[in-house]
Structure 1
Amino acid sequence: MVEPEEAGAPLAPARVLVFAAHPDDLDFGAAGTIARWAAAGSDVSYCIMTDGDAGGFDEAHRPDIVARRTAEQEEAARITGARGIHYFHERDGFLEPSYEVIGKTVELIRRIRPEIVLAMHPERAWDRIQKSHPDHLACGEAVTRAVYPAVENPYAYPELAAGGLPAYKLPYLWFYGAPRERENHYVDVTDLVDVKIAAIRVHASQHPDVTEMESRVKAMMQENARRGGLPEGSSAEAFHVVGINTPSTIAGF
């Protein structure tokens, strides 16, 4: 298991920016860790790239699905302690790591200047392909391309620097929903399982079977803890942590 100081896991990073493809993605992937940071004083912001307009299971929800999912995400953010949500309003199922999406990502990272960016993983997970919705992969790829080199390159997106958003060297990039073989850091969220489940439950438009959902999420967290070497009975969230600008990385392009 990667130790916190190696993995870039300060107990309370000053600012964290979390990216997701759809409303509810980040609650499944990281709500416990987010709640821990927020409780310790971190300023946590979310960015939801699509409106989630293709999600859900109830035909009666179609006319107001975007408003419904937005309200669900805002309530879930209140539960975890996140302080703000940004929306890109891309179309659900059509997200791509385009120049425009990367540019919006660069702009938001430079504006918030977080210590940690948390995003979906850009690699497909064959052990559980549901992790790897095409929008999830696109989210991860857009964030990865934004983080290096565009966010820290003063000559990339020069209009941002001209508008008062200079280049910024991000310390750490964390991924959730990673292929199992990429996971290198586990956060013990045993005392926050109820908070995580509460945040996920809020996304009622996405759960045809709430009982089964809760059972599966709890089982996966317990399996994460076992793989992370945590004590028996623990629950954990799993991440692939990458140092971008740390004492052990080489600065420059």
Structure 2
Amino acid sequence: KDEVHPDHRAVGICTVDAIACARGLWYYPEQLQDGITPHAVRQIYYFATDRPNHWVDIGTVVEQKAAALRCHASQTSRKDILQWIREKGIVAGAEHKFKIAEAFHHHAL
């Protein structure tokens, strides 16, 4: 499913806007005087997508992912977060021969 949380959508839109601005000399020329140089992002990976086309094996970091999510208590109230991640990861990875995976939509720029 597509991301529908308004905060997440807003951050996504701002991120893509920042990517567009970061590659141009003309957007914030005053920053160039401070030694900042343009940067061209070459790839974007969207998560929580209904159109995955790239999978990453997370089997060795699944516990770290659960620990990181637990740090965001206001966002993640699940007591079974590790089990939930594993269950989703098993489904995501099955077709691609990963024990536990995370799915993304990869977009090359």
Q: Pick the TM interval, shorter chain.
A: 0.7 to 0.9
- Show the counterpart of 1:191: 60
- Show the counterpart of 1:222: 90
Separation of aligned partners in 2, 1:155 and 1:209: 46
Amino acid at match of 1:180: D
Out of 38, 42, 47, the residue aligned to residue 171 of structure 1 is: 42
Separation of aligned partners in 1, 2:55 and 2:89: 10
Please say if residues 62 and 85 of structure 2, whose CA atoms lie closer than 8 Å, have aligned partners that are also in contact. no
Higher helix share: 1
Considering only aligned residues, what root-mean-square deviation do their CA atoms show, in Å? 2.1
- Show the counterpart of 2:30: 159
- List alignment gaps of at least 5 residues for structure 1: 1-123, 126-130, 245-253
Q: Is residue 180 of structure 1 aligned with residue 50 of structure 2?
A: yes
- SS of alignment partner, residue 174 of structure 1: strand
Deviation at 1:235, TM superposition (A): 0.5
Separation of aligned partners in 2, 1:141 and 1:154: 21
Deviation at 1:205, TM superposition (A): 4.6
- Show the counterpart of 1:242: 107
Separation of aligned partners in 1, 2:45 and 2:75: 25
Considering Cα pairs closer than 8 Å and 6+ residues apart, tell me whether 1 or 2 has the greater RCO. 2
TM-score, structure 2 normalization: 0.81
Q: Percent identity?
A: 27
1:79-134, Cα deviation, whole Å (9 max, x unpaired): xxxxxxxxxxxxxxxxxxxxxxxxxxxxxxxxxxxxxxxxxxxxx71xxxxx4211
- SS of alignment partner, residue 170 of structure 1: coil
1:220-252, Cα deviation, whole Å (9 max, x unpaired): 11111124x224xx11111122222xxxxxxxx
Separation of aligned partners in 1, 2:6 and 2:102: 22
- SS of alignment partner, residue 60 of structure 2: helix
- List alignment gaps of at least 5 residues for structure 2: none
- SS of alignment partner, residue 187 of structure 1: strand
Residues 170 and 208 of structure 1: is their aligned pair in 2 closer, same or farther, counting only changes over 3 Å? closer
Deviation at 1:144, TM superposition (A): 0.8
